[in-house]
């Protein structure tokens, strides 16, 4: 199992690879893109991109020298038809300098890259919301080499895909930056904070209505309001525990460390650390955190021992015990309930 880490500057390559990342992903906004299309939206993030092709080449050169691979994000949820040729050219240029794969969500761009840049691997972005076997088959037929699963899947669902399609690489989230909505079904932009920021933490003032428009009965309202308080607490965890770090500088936030043994057993090819826009130190500490767990797995430690080790890494197990910081909370629940086979998990 490999660690896939985000980068936004050439200087991050060496420390991230030294920390344990074997795969790096980055974005770039070519200098002529904004002029041509009047938008910086080459990928899903406006910020956290490399400055241009020269930086991209430096990243690929450095990574190649360290035996790491580089993937380029072209993962906007959708592109206009006027963008496709330019994006395909970017993909070809990236392949030409030694890039390994493009991370793509838009099906038209996947088809275009597969047809025109066949040597460039295609990784289906988490933004494509591919989270069942048939959908994975669909993307494989389009030319995908890897599926990056969206957040909020279970390990059992991951295993179903890896077992059905062993020829496909599967990548799953392991750390940082949790979306509230499914990325591929969230049709908003992260506005500047003074205009509201991400919609999932914007200042909407909602009131409950019972179906038909009436106010809910008092007892129901009390339960709903208590549920809202739990939800706010979950949101706090979802957004990096209030965007904080542990006393030992490891990052807080959505985490799948203790699920890594199960992911490894399921045949996951790579675990993804999110956060291209984050500070370099956060990225490096994130890779160190994941690498320490991976070392234990590689050494053949028992699953329960690896889980205990993972929970202890940040030296604050109460956050893990909350269940709200987990990408794969069923792993913690199975342990707590003795449901070793995950029978309590009924996806539907």
Q: Which parts of 117-146 interact with other proteins (CB under 8 A)?
A: 129-139, 142
Query: Of these, 18, 51, 166, 227, which contacts other proteins (CB under 8 A)?
Result: 227
Phi/psi at 257 (5° precision): -55, -45
Say whether residue 234 binds other proteins (CB under 8 A): yes
Q: Which of residues 312-341 bind other proteins (CB under 8 A)?
A: 321-324, 326, 329-330, 332-333, 336
Which stretches within 20-99 are classed as H helix?
A: 31-37, 53-65, 84-96
Say whether residue 219 binds other proteins (CB under 8 A): no
**Distance, CA of 263 to CA of 347 (rounded, Å):** 18
**Distance, CA of 37 to CA of 74 (rounded, Å):** 15
Say whether residue 43 binds other proteins (CB under 8 A): no
Q: How many residues bind other proteins (CB under 8 A)?
A: 88
Say whether residue 177 binds other proteins (CB under 8 A): no
Query: Of these, 18, 36, 222, 223, which contacts other proteins (CB under 8 A)?
Result: 223
Asked if 122 contacts 98 with a C-beta cutoff of 8 angstroms, the reply is no
**Distance, CA of 330 to CA of 280 (rounded, Å):** 31
**Bridging pattern class, strands 169-175 and 146-148:** parallel
Structure token pair of residue 243: 């965007």
Question: Minimum distance between the CB of residue 344 and other proteins, rounded to whole angstroms?
Answer: 8
Say whether residue 33 binds other proteins (CB under 8 A): no
Q: At what angle do helices 280-298 and 303-312 cross, to 10 degrees?
A: 160
Distance from chain centroid for Cα 104: 13
Q: Which of residues 274-313 bind other proteins (CB under 8 A)?
A: none
Question: Minimum distance between the CB of residue 229 and other proteins, rounded to whole angstroms?
Answer: 10
Query: What stretches of 46-168 adopt beta strand conformation (E)?
Result: 69-74, 101-104, 121-124, 146-148
Q: Which of residues 186-205 bind other proteins (CB under 8 A)?
A: 186-189, 191, 195-196, 199-200, 202-205
Query: Of these, 148, 153, 174, 289, which contacts other proteins (CB under 8 A)?
Result: 153
Say whether residue 89 binds other proteins (CB under 8 A): no
**Distance, CA of 184 to CA of 146 (rounded, Å):** 17
Say whether residue 267 binds other proteins (CB under 8 A): no
CB-neighbour burial class of residue 346 (10 A; exposed 0-12, middle 13-18, buried 19+): exposed
Question: Which residue lies nearer to other proteins by CB, 155 or 287?
Answer: 155
Question: Which residue lies nearer to other proteins by CB, 7 or 263?
Answer: 263
Structure token pair of residue 108: 């038209």
Question: Which residue lies nearer to other proteins by CB, 35 or 346?
Answer: 346
Question: Which residue lies nearer to other proteins by CB, 23 or 157?
Answer: 157
Say whether residue 86 binds other proteins (CB under 8 A): no
Question: Minimum distance between the CB of residue 52 and other proteins, rounded to whole angstroms?
Answer: 20
Q: In sequence order, which residues have a C-beta less than 8 Å from that of residue 165 and are 6 or more positions away?
A: 133, 136, 137, 140
Q: Which of residues 156-175 bind other proteins (CB under 8 A)?
A: 156-157, 160-161
**Distance, CA of 19 to CA of 297 (rounded, Å):** 16
Question: Minimum distance between the CB of residue 284 and other proteins, rounded to whole angstroms?
Answer: 29
Say whether residue 213 binds other proteins (CB under 8 A): yes
Distance from chain centroid for Cα 50: 19
Q: Which of residues 98-117 bind other proteins (CB under 8 A)?
A: 106-112
Say whether residue 32 binds other proteins (CB under 8 A): no
Question: Which residue lies nearer to other proteins by CB, 17 or 179?
Answer: 179
Q: Tell me how far CA of residue 54 lies from CA of 10, 33, 51, in angstroms.
A: 10, 15, 8
Question: Minimum distance between the CB of residue 215 and other proteins, rounded to whole angstroms?
Answer: 10
């Amino acid at each position: 199992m490999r660690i896939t880490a985000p980068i936004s500057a050439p200087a991050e390559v060496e420390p991230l690879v030294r920390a344990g990342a074997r795969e790096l992903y980055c974005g770039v906004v070519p200098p002529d893109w904004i002029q041509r299309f009047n938008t910086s939206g080459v990928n899903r993030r406006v910020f956290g991109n490399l400055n241009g092709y020269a930086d991209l080449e430096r990243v690929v050169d450095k990574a190649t020298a360290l035996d790491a691979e580089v993937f380029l994000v072209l993962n906007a949820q959708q592109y206009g038809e006027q963008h496709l040729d330019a994006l395909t050219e970017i993909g070809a240029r990236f392949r030409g300098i030694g890039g390994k794969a493009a991370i793509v969500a838009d099906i038209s761009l996947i088809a275009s890259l597969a047809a025109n840049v066949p040597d460039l691997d295609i990784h289906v972005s988490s933004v494509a919301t591919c989270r069942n076997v048939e959908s994975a088959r669909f993307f494989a037929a389009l030319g995908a080499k890897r599926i990056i699963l969206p957040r909020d899947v279970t390990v059992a669902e991951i295993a179903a895909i890896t077992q059905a399609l062993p020829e496909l690489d599967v990548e799953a989230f392991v750390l940082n930056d949790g979306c509230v909505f499914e990325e591929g079904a969230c049709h908003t932009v992260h506005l500047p904070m003074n205009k509201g920021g991400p919609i999932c933490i914007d200042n909407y003032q909602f009131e409950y209505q019972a179906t038909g428009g009436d106010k809910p009965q008092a007892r129901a309202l009390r339960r709903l309001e208590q549920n809202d308080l739990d939800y706010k607490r979950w949101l706090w965890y979802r957004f990096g525990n209030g965007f904080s770090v542990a006393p030992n500088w490891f990052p807080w936030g959505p985490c799948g460390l203790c699920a890594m043994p199960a992911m490894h057993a399921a045949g996951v090819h790579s675990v993804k650390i999110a956060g291209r826009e984050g500070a370099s130190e956060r990225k490096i500490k994130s890779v160190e955190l994941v690498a320490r767990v991976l070392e234990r797995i590689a050494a053949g430690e028992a699953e329960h021992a690896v889980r205990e080790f993972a929970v202890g890494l940040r030296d604050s197990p109460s956050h893990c015990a909350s269940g709200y910081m987990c990408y794969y909370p069923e792993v913690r629940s199975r342990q707590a309930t003795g449901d070793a086979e995950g029978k309590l998990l009924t996806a539907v």
